Structure 1
Amino acid sequence: MASPPNIQQLSLQPVQPQADHSESSSQSLLNVSLKSSPSTISLSSPEGIDCYGNERQVLTKQTKFFNNEALSDIILTVGGNKFYAHKFILVQCSDVFERMLSEDWSNSEKKEVELVEENECVEVFPRFLKFLYSCHIKLNMDNTLPVLILADKYNVTSLRQVCTNFACSFIIPKLQLKDVFHQWFQYGTKCYHKQLITSCVNVLAEKMDEVIGSVEWEQEWITLDRDQLVEFLRSSDLIVKDEYELWKAAVKWLTSSQHQARLDNLETNLQEIVKYIRFPMMSPQQLCEIERADIVQKHPELFQKPFLLAYKYHALTLTGRAHEKCFTSPACLLRNYTDLRWEKRFVIHYPSCQRFNEISERFSTRASSLPVQVWDWELKVFPKGFSSNADDFRCILYSNLILDQPRPIEYLLSIVGKDEIIHSVFGRKSFSKTRYTADTEMDKKVGVGELAQSNSPYLVDDKLILQISLKPVD
């Protein structure tokens, strides 16, 4: 028995003369929900009420025509195998098939069309074709990429998205890193599947020190094309010792003797790569080392602006940085650096946070004292409210070290978007045995409601990204 129809929201407009259709924006609207009774609305409306049958049941019945000679008007031959198909199904799912079967195509009148596919795609073609009838497919570790290749070739957008989501959720996180690199990253960058590229980079980012520095990965690194290298350099998720190591890896790629064409276009490549190196994240000593390098000496004009930004970054106080718009750019976004420094990046998955719950992030920084010490800190974040009495987005900085002397500190806490710093708060605090917390007052900049709203500008793919900088003061 068919499912009862669903009555959805409907905008009912008064009947207007044909000449007055342009004035529809001023017409009254009547919303009809599932709870509304048809007797309470005008059943005589010319538009009527939207009612839907059981879509899954329709697709199930349609599936019986897959590779069925009944009513078939075309035969597809793939790898020697013949499949009975129906032009109507093919063209409604694929504009490529629509062009192939149009009158302008040389084979449009043929009853049998041969499709030339790669061997791995021949094996999965029955699944691909059945999806066009049923909107359903069984995917696994081995068949997802060949199916995606077919979905791309014939531009079946729904199947492309199914394959991409499946790969990002269930395959890429479980594969060996080399397989991620050679299979999915290579294909994703070749066809520019942004979701695939991001997923691959995020997985490889966890071992980035190994990727850029080990002998095992050397060939993979230097054989990247420029666009692939840029995909890594633009990511803030890389786990690396510091930005200087990433710069050295980029220079190794630029000057590889195995790629003469790359060397012949060194200046063009360097100009593109420099844009994605975050020079302000390097120490002044590291910047001086780079200034003395041959590649910089030969192309000084390419480094003037980034070096100026970096030295200005280090010269200013944190309060001074907060007032300069130039320091909200991608060059000033932290990556996941592992060396001991005065800054730290935090990523919080916002949907998994509970209301009024505390997210505690522990981290260590350098110390200004001699002999050299490590200072331990804790940032306590309340992403969905501090308490039932204070529904605020609170970020509180704690000193986790028992102090013999006061510790005067300047802090700068920022909410980070995809490519820029969105909001920052800053202040000074003298930490001591009795005064060991500092409320950053982030709640005065951003409210819980703004974080919780759909498509919040303060979240990146459902993640709340924070970065904090500390600096000793006199």
Structure 2
Amino acid sequence: MSETKKHGGVKGEVESPVKKDKTLAVIEDKDDFIHRFRTLYNSEIFSDIVLVVGDQRFYAHKIMLVTASEVFEAMLSEARWQESNQNEVCLTEDEECVSVFPDFLKYIYSGSVELTTSMVHKLLILADKYGIHVLHKTCVEYMSRHIVTSPDTNRTLTWYHYAKITNGQHLQEKCLAFILSNFSIIQQAPDWLDLSASVMVEFLQSSEIVVESEYQLWVEVERWIKAVEDPDIVLEKLKAVLPHMRFTMMAPSDLLKIETSDIYNEYTELFGNRLMKAYRGHSLHTSDLMGHTREEPYRNYYHKLYGIGDDLKLRNYIETPKTESHLVTTMLVPIHLKPFPVQSREDDSLSFDVAFYPQGFYQAHPLYGMYMSRQNDDTVLNVSRSSTSSQHVVDVDITLVIYAYRDNMKYTAHSCRVSHQFSSKSRHCKVENVIPVENLKSKKSPYLVGKHFEAKIFLKIQNIQLEEKEKKE
């Protein structure tokens, strides 16, 4: 009996082999295809609609608009939109977006766009408004890659504000991390003066911003306040920020500068007793440790006045052997803000030993006359309270920032923060995997300054009290 060829997939039937043509090839002339549509941009050829934006007129094609944008699709095809029956449509755009509308429309016709830090935010607004999700993703990815730019081209503040109001979580987190760790760079950016009062207050409420000093911070905030001429707006700004400036963290000489400034003399009543309170804090400066609680916490100040920061540097990171790579320092951290540049003493400071292992942990120790070692490939930070006869519970905020260098600009590329309560039972704080070693050792690592590893550690004493056992005695 001859075998039956397969028809309709009946079980037991034999399928005829399908011969593939070996000459088959897929030809894709994408560039030419895109070029044909690109030539239609703002062309009268087959144009069936005119878009009016400000004083600009653009010849357009409905088929291009509706296939690219869900908003244009609804606007031009649904009867409930009056634009669906019009040959000329006026689009109302934010003033800042009008200048980039030609770029936006070119993207619809070509699928490509040239981006800069100064215009990408405007293009993102249009992408969101017209529901072009691919363009939205493209803009956000560009912004994420260009958060680190020099102050003259940096727009991170504007991007952060937009990400907050549109719930762009990823972009918001990346922007905020850069802003807090590089606040001195942010203060020189073009959009610093355009910052909203609510976002400014958000930053001033933070103890994690890295800034030279509280006075230097006030100088830039004052510049932001005075950037407008409207006295009502100046008053509104001043009322918003004054409660969040930490005047007790300023030296008396800096308080005096504020007291003799124009803005203080004009709005003295708004300052109230804030400066007097700061002066009083300095005059009552005491070395007594007992029951010391900081009313206004330290930020990450790197001015020597505060004595809370120290540098960690490993030259020629890649070439340095792991056994020689650990960085150590002893920090004598003042309990009180020093109102004058005086050297810290043991009776008004606490001593901490800091060790950081940027190539991975390594520790050698003798065993039966031989040296053994304990090691791993995790970067490790150890902070230990130096031995002392006095036993206190000390709350310390520890922040480590790691620097990098790009476009002639040194900036913080990574930060790590922990809080630890030091006591007789807990004299050591260990933080593992501060940053993956492979990130530092990779070619063209973004976490090195040239060939060197550079970091700064901040130890901020926030509270001191006697241990319970001493209180009972």
TM-score of the superposition, structure 1-length normalised? 0.49
Q: Which has more radius of gyration?
A: 2
- Pick the structure with more strand per residue: 2
- Pick the structure with more helix per residue: 1
